[in-house]
């Protein structure tokens, strides 16, 4: 039996000011990307510093002592994740954006750095750059196998760039493309495992140091991606690549290779939804269906321990679920659920190589989550870290899955968050469509929805047609090509709030981020009398411009295909419909956004003002699409709170 001393019930506190709520909910998670040391005694994780700063920290779970290893200031590089290579050596991922001064495009970069756990002896793991490089090296590569952690080595997919224009010497780097090296992270000496190949986009190991899968990404002579991928595999103890499968528009997703069973786990379509299959890598390619769901896509597998064996799979209906193949883990998950009855979202985050010590995350809709160390030998479960300590002791809102009838009779899944202690009757309310559009919300803690609920607003998150995870029919191509259906579902959701008596029909607002911001603006244009305020964070405002924004990138043709051509492009662009908008608009955008360019909000703000509309633009300098800066997020939430208080009241 498992025992834990857990306190998850919120404590009723005095009403907080807008600024206090904005700071508390805008703060970034205190623990991100945790990684457990081989002996299970230490956790390596990222934690936020002031503003956009991120710090890599080790915390000893026995002594409670913590130490800072390295940090980034977010200008331009940011820490992405760190991982133990050995007890004294780690590898960290640094990424960021820089501007191409010729084209004005924002170019992403990624660098892998190895360093000691005291922060010393830092070394870049990517190939050395040369002034003769024939192309830009955006990414060093990625680690495909962390090996056994005994000799500071990793298996790394590395980007090789051929040199050109170099004369007067025979020493010219001619290799080009993605290869795999076994790399000593102390000396950065590499032993070639896979020769670089032009067109190689991905390699996968079996978790035991053997490269077993390769993807060749289709591209035209111009370099533009076609969306077609060819996969090749190896049988055990062979160096020959054999054809595995072809994918069109990424409709096949390899997930993991289980070395013990010598099979690949992958997602592919079955009756319009992603199902989980295994494929034998013994030369027979015998394929078996492992799992399917009649309502939603299977989305991933669960791996565990040395060699990363596959122990289960996951999917999200109203709530996320994990199904374990392994009876031991099925029983363990059941025991943890009983020990943590108020924290139903349980995840095995990491484990020591022997599997005896587990880092476990547990959370819920009204608990941001906490990390535990479970010692299977001692049968002890001890709370180690809080995901958001700044919210500890607050009474947070509960989230309820609901179903909403669309105008054409379809059933729209959604999540309803009500202000703590408030009756679901005639409340001011916010519709909060998600981004993507090929994404979805899930039941659990959502800092933006919780902020709005804390300010007294009911919050509805509709999973409109265009959302991912519910199969191809619900995806409906995407929310740009078929924007009328997506926006129509959002409108039906807003009207449902009023028809059920939950919302005061005169006190509705809409808030969204990315595609959600697009949806907020387009909804305000198509239903001008429905909403009293619209907030758009990093929104797409012009579909034709979105296509042009990709013209210098390899995904240009894929973006063109996603949006399409025809009258729907202008009709579905908020910037072409500013005269219809009546509600006050707040735009929020980072000026280093490579996903949706800052110009989308700049031009929208100018167009609204020119049309005599009420518009504010909050520009956040140096930040990208995700606004990973606690100070900036607090500033944004304060501005949102002021607008909502002024227009729909608490």
For 399-431, what is each residue's pLDDT tens digit?
999 999 999 999 999 999 999 999 999 999 999
Among 1.20.1050.10, 1.10.510.10, 2.130.10.120, 3.40.462.10, what is the CATH number of 32-198? 2.130.10.120
Residue 650, burial from CB neighbour count under 10 angstroms (0-12, 13-18, 19+): middle
Residue predicted with more confidence, 351 or 155: 155
Give the three-state DSSP class for 576: helix
pLDDT in tens, 13-23: 468 999 999 99
pLDDT tens by residue, 113-161: 999 999 999 999 999 888 888 888 889 999 999 998 778 999 999 999 9
Per-residue pLDDT at 650 exceeds 70:
no
Please tell me the distance from the alpha carbon of residue 74 to that of residue 97, in angstroms, as a whole number: 10
Distant-in-sequence, close-in-space partners of 179: CB < 8 Å, separation ≥ 6: 157, 158, 160, 192, 193, 194, 195, 196, 197, 200
CB 465 within 8 A of CB 387: no
Asked if pLDDT for residue 243 goes beyond 70, the answer is yes
- What's the rounded Cα separation, in Å, for the pair 506 and 361? 41
Alpha-carbon gap, residue 431 to 497, rounded angstroms: 9
The stretch 191-213 carries a mean pLDDT of 94
Average pLDDT of every residue of the chain: 93
Report the Cα–Cα distance between both ends of the chain, in Å, rounded.
Answer: 46
Alpha carbon distances (Å) from 585 to 454, 545, 574, 581, 610: 22, 21, 12, 9, 14
The CA distance from 196 to 178, in Å, is 5
Give the tokens for residue 314: 């996951």
Question: What's the mean pLDDT in 322-342?
Answer: 92
Q: Please tell me the predicted confidence (pLDDT) of residue 219.
A: 83
Res 125: pLDDT: 97
The answer, yes or no, to whether residue 10 has pLDDT greater than 70, is: no
pLDDT, position 4? 37
The residues with which 310 forms a beta bridge, in sequence order, are: 303
Instruction: Could you please state the CATH topology (level 3) that the domain comprising 399-647 is classified under.
Output: Rossmann fold (3.40.50)
Decide: 281 and 263 in contact? Cβ < 8 Å: yes
Structure tokens at 106: 């924002």
Residue 246 pLDDT grade (very low, low, confident, very high; cuts 50, 70, 90): very high
Could you tell me the two tokens for 23?
A: 């700071």
pLDDT in tens, 28-81: 999 999 999 988 999 999 999 999 999 999 999 888 899 999 999 998 899 999
Phi first, then psi, for residue 144 (nearest 5°) are -105, -10
Q: What is the pLDDT of residue 382?
A: 93
Mean pLDDT of 495-503: 98
Range in 269-283, 323-337, 388-402, 617-631 the model is least confident about: 323-337
What are the extents of the domains in the chain?
Answer: 32-198, 399-647
Q: Which residues pair with 429 in a beta bridge?
A: 458, 508
Q: How confident is the model at residue 3, as a pLDDT?
A: 34
Q: What residues have CB less than 8 Å from 69, skipping those under 6 apart?
A: 44, 56, 57, 58, 82, 90, 115, 117, 118, 119
Give the tokens for residue 236.
């055990």
pLDDT at 14: 64
Coil, strand or helix at 167: coil
**What is the reported pLDDT for 309?**
86
% of the chain exceeding 90 in pLDDT: 82
Q: Residue 187: pLDDT above 90? A: yes
The whole-number pLDDT of residue 307 equals 61
d(Cα 128, Cα 609) in Å, to the nearest integer? Answer: 50
Residue 137 has what pLDDT? 85
Q: What is the pLDDT of residue 306?
A: 59
In this model, does residue 100 exceed pLDDT 60? yes
Give the pLDDT score at 355.
85
List CB contacts of 85: < 8 A, sequence separation 6 or more: 91, 114, 146, 149, 152, 153, 154, 185
Angle, helix 483-499 to helix 515-526, in steps of 10 degrees: 70
Alpha-carbon distance values, 209 to 154, 181, 338 (Å): 9, 11, 37
- Asked, colleague to colleague, whether 32-198 and 399-647 share their fold, the answer is no
């Amino acid at each position: 039996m498992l025992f834990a001393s857990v306190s998850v019930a919120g404590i009723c506190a005095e009403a907080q000011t807008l600024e206090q709520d904005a700071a508390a909910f805008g703060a970034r998670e205190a623990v991100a990307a945790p990684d457990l040391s081989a002996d299970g005694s230490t956790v390596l994780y990222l934690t936020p510093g002031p503003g956009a700063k991120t710090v890599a920290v080790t915390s000893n779970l026995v002594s409670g002592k913590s130490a800072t290893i390295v940090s980034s200031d977010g200008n331009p590089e940011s820490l992405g994740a760190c991982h133990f290579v050995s007890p004294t050596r780690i590898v960290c991922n640094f990424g960021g954006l820089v501007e191409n001064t010729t084209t004005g495009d924002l170019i992403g970069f990624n660098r892998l750095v190895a360093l000691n756990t005291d922060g010393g002896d830092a070394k870049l793991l990517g190939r050395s750059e040369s002034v003769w490089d024939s192309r830009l090296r955006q990414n060093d590569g990625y680690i495909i196998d962390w090996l056994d952690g005994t000799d500071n080595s990793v298996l790394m997919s590395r980007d090789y760039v051929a040199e050109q224009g170099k004369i007067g010497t025979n020493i010219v780097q001619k290799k080009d493309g993605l290869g795999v090296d076994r790399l000593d992270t102390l000396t950065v000496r590499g032993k070639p495992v896979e020769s670089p190949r032009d067109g190689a986009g991905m390699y996968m190991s079996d978790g035991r140091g053997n490269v077993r899968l390769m993807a060749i990404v289709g591209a035209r002579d111009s370099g533009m991606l076609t969306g077609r991928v060819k996969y090749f595999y190896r049988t055990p103890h062979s160096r020959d690549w054999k054809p595995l499968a072809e994918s069109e528009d990424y409709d096949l997703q390899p997930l993991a290779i289980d070395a013990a069973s010598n099979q690949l786990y992958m997602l592919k379509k079955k009756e319009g939804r992603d199902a989980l299959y295994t494929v034998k890598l013994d030369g027979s390619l015998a394929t078996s269906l492992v799992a399917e769901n009649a309502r939603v896509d299977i989305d991933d597998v669960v791996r565990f321990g040395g060699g990363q064996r596959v122990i289960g799979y996951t999917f999200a209906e109203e709530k996320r679920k994990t199904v374990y193949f392994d009876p031991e883990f099925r029983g363990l998950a059941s025991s943890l659920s009983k020990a943590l009855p108020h924290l139903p979202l349980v995840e095995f985050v990491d484990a020591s190589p022997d599997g005896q010590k587990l880092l476990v995350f547990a959370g819920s809709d009204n608990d941001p989550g906490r990390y535990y160390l479970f010692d299977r030998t001692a049968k002890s479960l001890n709370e180690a870290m809080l995901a958001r300590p700044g919210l500890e002791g607050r009474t947070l809102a509960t989230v309820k899955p609901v179903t909403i009838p669309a105008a054409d009779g379809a059933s729209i899944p959604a999540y309803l968050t009500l202000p703590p202690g408030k009756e679901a009757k005639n409340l001011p309310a916010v519709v909060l469509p998600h981004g993507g559009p090929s994404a979805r919300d899930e039941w659990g803690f959502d800092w933006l929805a919780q902020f709005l609920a804390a300010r007294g607003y009911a919050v509805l998150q509709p999973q409109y047609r265009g959302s991912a995870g519910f199969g191809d029919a619900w995806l409906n191509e995407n929310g740009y090509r078929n924007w009328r259906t997506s926006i129509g579902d959002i409108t039906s959701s807003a009207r449902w709030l009023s028809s059920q008596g939950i919302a005061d029909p005169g006190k509705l607002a809409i808030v969204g981020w990315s595609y959600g911001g697009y949806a907020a603006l387009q909804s305000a244009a198509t239903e001008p009398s429905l909403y009293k305020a619209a907030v758009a964070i990093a929104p797409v405002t012009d579909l034709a411009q979105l296509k042009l924004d990709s013209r210098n990138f390899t995904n240009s043709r894929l973006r063109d295909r996603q949006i399409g051509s025809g009258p729907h492009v202008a009709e579905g662009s908020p910037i072409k419909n500013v005269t219809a908008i009546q509600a006050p608009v707040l735009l929020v955008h980072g000026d280093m956004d490579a996903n949706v360019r800052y110009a989308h909000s700049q031009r929208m703000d100018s167009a609204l003002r020119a049309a005599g509309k009420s518009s504010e633009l909050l520009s956040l300098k140096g930040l990208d699409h995700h606004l990973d800066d606690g100070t900036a997020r607090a500033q944004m939430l304060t501005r949102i709170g002021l607008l909502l208080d002024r227009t729909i009241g608490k």
